[in-house]
Amino acid sequence: MKPIQVTRSSMPAFEEYMEEIKVLWESHWLTNMGEKHKLLEAELTHYLNTPNVTLFTNGHTALECAIAALNLTGEVITTPFTFASTTHAIVRNGLKPVFCDINENDYTLDVNKLEMLITDQTSAIIPVHVYGNICNVNEIERIAKKFNLKVIYDAAHAFGITVNGEGVANFGDASMFSFHATKVFNTIEGGAVTFRNPNLRKVLNDLKNFGITGPESVEYVGGNAKMNEFQAAMGICNLRHIDDEIMKRKAVVRRYRENLSGIKGIKLCQIQLGVKSNNSYFPVVFEDYKLNRDEIYELLKEHHIIARKYFYPLTNSIDCYKDRFNSNDTPVAKYIAERVLTLPLYADLALEDVDRICEIIIECQPNKKEYLIIPNELGRTVSNKIIINS
C-alpha cells in the first residue's frame, strides 16, 4: 500500500507545463530575471493584492535577504515554534534571536509577552504566521511603532490569506512567503518578499544577485538567490489553479473538523474570525488523550499514514542552539510542540482517506490487516505482527 504522506505537491498537467517552458528552448534564457520571472512577479503582485513583490529561489534565502535589506542589528524577537529556517535566518545575519512564547489558541507570538522582551538592543520582530494562522498584526504594529522596531513576518505558510479583506502580504515592513514543493502554492523551490517601502526593491534585487549594482559595481556582499525560469514557469501554471486547490483543501479541512471536533483530549486550532484561510496545515494537539502524540504518530505510521511533528523540537532546543537557549523560557511553545501532530493535507486527499485517518485516531486500534491470527497450543489465539505490505 502506498503511504499517505503529510502532503503532496500540487502540479499542473504535464502538457500545461511543457507548453509553458517550450519558449525557453527558443530563447535559451534560463535564469537571471527572465520573461517568466517578470510575468510571475507581476501576477503575484496582482494575486496577493500588494504593491511590492520580489521573487527568490526559496523562502529561506528570501528571509535572509529581507533581514539584510532592513539593516537589522543586535536582537530580534521571534518565536521558537517554527521551522529551523526562521531562527537560522536571524543567526546567519549575525543577529541574536530572542524567543517570545506563543499563545495557546493559534500558536502565533503571544503579544502579551512581547514588550517585556524588548531591550535597547532590539531592532525588529519576526513573528510567524504558523500553519497559516495570522498573528495579532494590529497589536504587533502598535508595539513596533511604540519602540521604533521593524517587523518582518515569516509568512511561509500564509500564501493568499486575507484578514478582513486585506492581503496578508501588506502587514509589517516586509513578509516572506515560501513556494516550496510542500506549500499551498509552489514553484518547485521558491519564495518571495513583499515589502512596504518601494525603495527596498532595488536593495533586495541587488542582494539576491551577488550585490551587483551596475556593470562595474558591486555595492553589497550579496548572495545568489534568484528564481530561475523553470521555477517561475511552474509558478505561472500553478497560479492558474490556485483557487481550485484551496477550495479542495478547504473540503479536506472541513471533513477533519467534522470528524474530530468535540472529542475529549483532541484540540483543534481555533478558527480565526475575519481570516480567509488557505488551509495549509491541519495541526491537532493531543492533551491527556487515550494515546499521547508519539503513540498516535506511530499508530498512524503502522497504518501507512505519515503525519509529521511540525514543529517539534522547538528551534530554541535544536542541536545547533542547545546550549544557547532554553526552551523552558517558552513554556506554551514547549507544551504544544510536545503534543502536536500535523495530519495529511493536500488538495487531492480523498475524503474517505480523511475519514479513515480520523477513525484510526478515534479508535486507537492497531492495523488489523497486518496481524496474523494464529491459534496457540491452548486453543487460544495470539496475534503476531507480520508485514504484508512493504
Choice between 157 and 226, CB closer to ligand T4K = 157
Choice between 236 and 305, CB closer to ligand T4K = 305
Beta strands in the chain (DSSP E): 53-56, 75-78, 96-99, 122-126, 150-154, 162-163, 166-167, 174-178, 191-195, 212-214, 217-218, 266-268, 275-276, 282-286, 340-343, 371-375, 381-385
Which is catalytic among the residues 183, 208, 267, 334?
A: 183
Site of interaction with ligand T4K (CB under 6 A):
5-9, 58-60, 82-83, 85-86, 128, 154, 156-157, 178, 180-182, 191, 310
Choice between 84 and 268, CB closer to ligand T4K = 84
Least spacing, CB of residue 73 vs ligand T4K, in Å: 22
C-alpha cell read off for 319: 542541536
Closest by CA position to 117, among listed 168, 146, 76: 76
Least spacing, CB of residue 90 vs ligand T4K, in Å: 11
Cα atoms in the 13 Å half-sphere on the side-chain side of 306: 9
C-alpha cell read off for 45: 503582485
Choice between 285 and 289, CB closer to ligand T4K = 285
Choice between 178 and 289, CB closer to ligand T4K = 178
> β-strand 53-56 against 191-195: which pairing, if any?
antiparallel
CA distance 176 to 260: 32
Least spacing, CB of residue 390 vs ligand T4K, in Å: 18
In order of 85, 354, 389, the CA distances from 154 in angstroms are 10, 29, 40
> β-strand 266-268 against 275-276: which pairing, if any?
unpaired
Least spacing, CB of residue 131 vs ligand T4K, in Å: 9
Least spacing, CB of residue 28 vs ligand T4K, in Å: 27
| 183 catalytic per annotation | yes
Closest by CA position to 109, among listed 70, 154, 65, 64: 154
Active site residues: 183
